[in-house]
Amino acid sequence: MDLSNENVVHIKKDGIEFLQFRKLLEYKNIINHAYGIGIDRNYRTAKANKQKLDDASYQKAIKDYTDLCCAINSSIEHLVKTKQDHTDTVKIVTQKINEKMPDISEEAYSKTDGLITNKRNIMLSTTNADCILLLFFDPIKKVIANVHSGWKGTLQRISVKTVQKMQKEFNCNTEDIICCICPSIRKCHFEVEKDVKELFEKEFEELKPQEEWIEETIANQKWNIDTVKINQILLQELGLKPENIIDSKICSVCHSDVVHSFRAEREKYGLSTALIELK
């Protein structure tokens, strides 16, 4: 299956499959990036309870990261991986912790769901299996960010807080920032019950009409929510240009034969990864 569309290109190279955003490829002399796909690849480096995997699974993940980094002409030595926990914490990476090894499961990035840097040769990594991953790039100030925004992160407006931190710490202008939205669960499959529906209605009361991002599917029982649309609206209201918010338009559940999805794979789910790096 080829997932290429007007916004992303699906690349197969030496047994590795990944997506790249056409917009970011316009800056390929400045940045490396990729969204690693293929259910035979698993970028999980810890169990769901944050404990270390068995050695064979961990080494498999390291090999998969190594292969993907090599495929985009980078090195796993540059990798900095968050310890995601559905928070709104965004941290700035100023240097690698390990000189010749990837920074994985480092306490410095514990309970962290977003990373920002303006340093070269630091490969920011997040992982997902339905949650939204957002790649940010300011080509003027040469600042990048990589953010994990599940439905809890979306409720906490982590995408907005990332841009605000880019503004505060690096003097970025919102009109220059590009945001690319990786494959994730979409409205067609993100079905919730009343408790979660009410959380979204309360937090995003100002986003009118709410019918743009929420739909009742079973009367008074089930609703489908468009978390991608919510993030798009929030970022536009913050000042990002609509043409600079680029969506992969790929649902992880619809394409669970290629993209990891918790809702499709359940307890055996694997993880995909998004990478971005300043050269």
**Structural domains of the chain ordered from first start:** 8-185+242-278 (3.60.140.10)
| Residue owning tokens 């340093």 | 119
Q: Can you give the pLDDT at residue 47?
A: 73
Q: Which of 272, 189, 255 is nearest to 2 (CA)?
A: 255
Q: Which of 117, 121, 51 is nearest to 90 (CA)?
A: 117
Q: Can you give the pLDDT at residue 51?
A: 65
Between strands 90-92 and 114-117, the pairing is: parallel
Q: Can you give the pLDDT at residue 109?
A: 96
User: Using an 8 Å Cβ cutoff, are 97 and 119 in contact?
Assistant: no
Cis peptide before 209 (omega within 30 of 0): yes
Q: How far apart are CA 254 and CA 104, in angstroms?
A: 30
What the block records as the tokens of 155 is: 């409720």
Q: Can you give the pLDDT at residue 49?
A: 63
User: Using an 8 Å Cβ cutoff, are 108 and 83 in contact?
Assistant: no
Q: Can you give the pLDDT at residue 188?
A: 97
Interacting residues of 271 by C-beta distance below 8 A, sequence separation 6+:
42, 43, 44, 127, 128, 129, 260
Distance of CA 273 to the CA centre of its chain: 7
Q: How far apart are CA 228 and CA 154, in angstroms?
A: 9
Q: Can you give the pLDDT at residue 186?
A: 98
Question: Which positions of the chain have pLDDT values less than 50?
Answer: none
Maximum CA extent, the chain: 56
The pTM assigned to this predicted structure is 0.97
Average pLDDT of the chain to the nearest whole number? 96
Q: How far apart are CA 150 and CA 205, in angstroms?
A: 19
